[in-house]
């Protein structure tokens, strides 16, 4: 959170563009709201367009610089589409906040959790942010 605080304290936040992965709820959504309130343009991303887009549409009523783009950090084609969108619609990106993550089978012990759930978690929480960072 110190990095986010430092970004928010930056004097010239106007015209700065931020992208947040996993921004349809929780910490990602709140960080996006804070950036919007300080003059940033914010691209909110989420895996599920039907959940993310309505949230951002509601934010656009107050903040015209709120944008949505569907992104699944586990699919390189989805990441590539997002990068093309950023370049075509915004021309650049100033801030990346990689916060997309999942927690599967949280009520099971490590010795009982299905290995496929572990793989999906690793793809989303470890490899996904790496792929997004490299692509941008």
- Convert the pLDDT of each residue in 42-60 to its tens digit: 999 999 999 999 999 999 9
Single pTM value for the model: 0.86
> How would you classify residue 59: left for phi > 0, otherwise alpha for psi between -120 and 50, otherwise beta?
alpha
Write down the pLDDT at residue 109: 80
Give every strand in the sheet of 17-21, ordered side by side.
66-70, 41-46, 17-21, 95-98
Residue spans of the chain under pLDDT 70: 1-14
Q: Please answer whether residues 68 and 53 qualify as being in contact, where contact means their C-beta atoms are separated by less than 8 angstroms.
A: yes
Cβ(112)–Cβ(33) below 8 Å = no
Nearest C-alpha neighbor of 104 from the set 115, 90, 92 = 115
Beta-carbon contacts of 79 under 8 Å, excluding residues fewer than 6 positions away, are: 71, 73, 131, 132, 135
The whole-number pLDDT of residue 48 equals 95
Tell which residue, 45, 41, 32, has the closest CA to residue 71: 45
Q: How much is the pLDDT for 29? A: 96
| pLDDT at 106 (0 to 100) | 72
For residues 44 and 32, the answer to whether their CB atoms sit within 8 Å is: yes
Cα 128 to Cα 109: distance, rounded to the nearest angstrom = 24
State the number of CA atoms in the 13 A half-sphere of 118 facing the CB.
8
For position 84, what pLDDT does the model report?
A: 98
Q: At 109, phi and psi to the nearest 5?
A: -75, 160
């Amino acid at each position: 959170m110190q990095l986010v605080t430092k970004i928010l304290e930056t004097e010239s936040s106007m015209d700065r563009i931020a992208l947040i992965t996993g921004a349809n709820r929780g910490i990602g959504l709140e960080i996006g709201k804070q950036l919007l309130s300080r003059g940033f343009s914010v691209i909110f991303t989420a895996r599920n367009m039907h959940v993310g887009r309505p949230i951002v549409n509601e934010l656009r009523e107050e903040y015209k610089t709120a944008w949505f783009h569907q992104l699944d950090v586990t699919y390189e084609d989805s990441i590539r589409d997002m990068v093309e969108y950023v370049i075509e619609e915004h021309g650049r990106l100033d801030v990346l906040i990689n916060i997309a993550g999942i927690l599967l089978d949280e009520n099971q012990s490590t010795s009982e959790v299905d290995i496929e759930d572990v793989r999906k978690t690793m793809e989303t929480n470890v490899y996904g942010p790496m792929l997004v960072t490299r692509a941008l």
